[in-house]
Amino acid sequence: MKKVLVIQYSQSGQLSEVLRHFCAPLADSGQIELRVETLRPRQAYPFPWPFLRFFDTFPEAVYLDAPELEPLSLPPGERFDLVILGYQVWFLSPSLPVTAFLKSAAARALLQDTPVVTVIACRDMWLMAQEQVKRLLAACGARLVGNVALVDEAGSVGSFLATPIWMLTGRKGPLLGGWIPRAGVKPEQISGCRRFGERIERVLNEAHPLDTTLLRHLGAVKVNTRLIATERAARRSFLVWGALLRALGRQGAWTRRPVVAVYFVFLVALLVTVLPLSALLKTLTAPLLRKRIAAQTAYFSAPSGDSIGM
Ligand SMILES: Cc1cc2nc3c(=O)[nH]c(=O)nc-3n(C[C@H](O)[C@H](O)[C@H](O)COP(=O)(O)O)c2cc1C
């Protein structure tokens, strides 16, 4: 019997819902043993988030400064044929509970020489986070064979307010008579994740090897190349300001609060200027940069391929 392990953490329940649909065909198959592990930080992260606490989390998130986790419930030495790693993005980095897992000795033991599929549900900026996850997985000796990325239905502009409002108030919307759209991934996209589980179930039951063709031609990811420059610029700024904040104290220290507040203003200014400018530049230069954009799309959509069917 093939064994599949799901690693998950979710604050609102969205990512758990994605994984539930994703894994339903595996759970229903009589041939697969499915195990679900929920990551439990020793000190829980709040949801909804208090305003300053939310922004005060970015230095640790970008520097992959892992919090302590409760031990997993798996017996030591247990191995799996496939690990499905669900994660959400926090400040262009994997969320801190997932970083903590990936940096743990338990992850090294579980993931060594093991095929891994990553499943992301986030606002719409996951490219830099996946670069970090690839590095952490490689350090564990894991083999990334697939990636699925789901983004909020409101798009880059609509989710710019909708997602933070959801995180800070717990209200998903729509709000103000629809001026602020609904936050989160579209329910049809969530239920549509079943198709990935169906493919995995078939490949496992037919005893085919698990390689990077596993989730091809299923629309697993859609790379928005217009966001690459913005993500890079925002990540650089997170690293610079994050270093300053870490020098000022630990997460939650009062010494960090004034700088966090200033940084919030800087970040909004950066996003409302760099984001539309770089998107406009990308659109204008797209005809000249076709080859480069195709190469970027291929790189960031690996291993599962872009939704246009690579
Ligand atoms: C602290 C924090 C930072 C976030 N940063 C990002 C981000 O950089 N990019 C992004 O696309 N989504 C970001 N999000 C949204 C999450 O990726 C995710 O969509 C949301 O937290 C819901 O996930 P859940 O399943 O844990 O409830 C952030 C959320 C939180 C709480």
Please state the rounded mean pLDDT for residues 97-120.
98
Of 38-42, 193-197, 210-214, 227-231, the least confident? 227-231
Q: Does residue 166 line the site of ligand 1, with CB under 6 A?
A: no
Q: Angle CA(282)–CA(287)–CA(293) in degrees, nearest 5?
A: 60
Q: How confident is the model over 119-125, as a mean pLDDT?
A: 97
Which range is least confidently modeled, 69-73, 89-93, 94-98, 152-156?
A: 152-156
Percent of the chain at pLDDT above 70? 99
Choices 1.10.12.10, 1.10.10.10, 2.60.40.180, 3.40.50.360: CATH for 2-224: 3.40.50.360
Which residue has the least CA distance to atom 27 on ligand 1?
A: 12
Question: Is the beta carbon of 251 within 6 A of some atom in ligand 1?
Answer: no
Ligand 1 probe mutation, 90, 260, 267, most atoms within 8 A of CB: 90
Pocket test for ligand 1, best of 8, 88, 152, 157 (most atoms within 8 A of CB): 88
Q: How far is the CA of 83 from the centre of ligand 1 (A)?
A: 22
Give the C-alpha separation, 105 to 295, whole Å.
Answer: 35
How sure is the predictor about 63, in pLDDT bands with cuts at 50, 70 and 90?
A: very high
Does 46 have pLDDT greater than 60? yes
Report the separation in Å between the CA atom of 114 and the middle of ligand 1, taken as the mean of its atom positions.
Answer: 27
Q: Is 278 in the pocket of ligand 1 (CB under 6 A)?
A: no
Mean pLDDT score, 260-287:
86
Q: Which atom of ligand 1 is closest in space to residue 152's alpha carbon?
A: 19
Q: Is 163 in the pocket of ligand 1 (CB under 6 A)?
A: yes
Of all atoms in ligand 1, which is nearest to the CA of residue 184? 19
* Residue 78: CB atoms within 10 Å: 12
**Closest atom of ligand 1 to CA, residue 49:** 31
DSSP symbol at 175: B
C-alpha of residue 11 to centroid of ligand 1, in Å: 9
Residues 228-253: what's their mean pLDDT? Answer: 93
Protein residue with its CA nearest to atom 18 in ligand 1: 122
Distances (CA, A) of 120 to 130, 150, 220, 246, 270: 9, 6, 10, 27, 25
The pLDDT assigned to 107 comes to 98
Distance CA 55, CA 252 (A): 10
For atom 3 of ligand 1, which residue has the closest CA?
Answer: 90
222-251 CB burial, b ≥16 within 10 A, e <16: ebbbbbbbbbebbbebbeebbeebbebeeb
